[in-house]
Amino acid sequence: MIGAHEAGYVFRDRYPERVEIYRAFAETSDAARRQLPNICDIPYGDHPRQRFDLFFGVPTGPLLIFIHGGYWRSLAKGTFSFVARPFVAKGYTVAIVGYPLLPEVPFAHICESLRLSVPAVVQALRDRRFHPPAWIISGHSAGGHLAAWLATAGAVEPGIPLQACLPISGIFDLAPLLETSLGEMLGLDREEAAAFSPIKARIADTRLLAVVGSAETQAFREQSAAYVGHWSDRGGPSRLVLLSGRHHYDILRDLMQKRSELVDHLQRFIAPG
């Protein structure tokens, strides 16, 4: 049933510039793969989308794992290689992770697929004599949901501590989506939606930095604010960052800048003082 939440979550036709934005992402990602040390398409499962790309920082630097968005049904990891550049410049190694999509696989399969990816990424680095002391999980939109879900799922054991969770324009409560035109695609009932909603789960023993654009819909701004509140109410270090003037599609352009406000916020947040 389509209800009052539709405009808050289904809005790509209102942003015709998204086509140009994704074109810029793809071009900048092509350049990143040419210019940064990397290995692409490392498998972590049998499905052709169960692959990740590694962009190498320093061997003892932290690991950042990034999950792309697309409402769990579209896009691919290769469009987001550009995300690695500002982090690699800070010494991070970055993994851009792909995953199977709806409707080919059920929603639960996507979550479980991402759970498998984390220890596979860490092992791939160790095989190459990279030894990150900690990892950070990040993602945009549906990837922000998956990042938060992984941080709180409780069964991800890569053998190194989780330093921070960095969801960007994330979705943390799936219930409102059931009342939109996306509901049928998700294939979830209310109980399942709650089970896969990070805002219904315990918090992780780490830091949460939730980032959202000031020009995003009220629904997305409220999702991030509510999740930060959920985290802080339970004693977890958390912070909400509004990126000025950014909307849902152009917020990642910040990572294409020579100096990224988003990366600066993360650096200060995970190493305060």
CA distance 150 to 46: 20
| pLDDT (tens digit per residue) in 78-122 | 999 999 999 999 999 999 999 999 999 999 999 999 999 999 999
Phi, psi (deg, nearest 5) at residue 99: -160, 155
| pLDDT (tens digit per residue) in 128-180 | 999 999 999 999 999 999 999 999 977 677 889 999 999 999 999 999 999 99
pTM equals 0.97
Per domain, the residue ranges of the chain are 6-270
Question: What is the number of H-type helices and E-type strands within the chain?
Answer: 9, 8
What per-residue string of b and e applies to 127-158 under the rule 16 or more CB within 10 Å gives b? eeebebeebbbbbbbbbbbbbbbbbbbeebeb
CATH C-level class of 6-270: alpha beta
| pLDDT (tens digit per residue) in 12-45 | 778 889 999 999 999 999 999 999 999 999 999 9
Structure token digits, residue 108? 């639960």
Phi, psi (deg, nearest 5) at residue 192: -65, -40
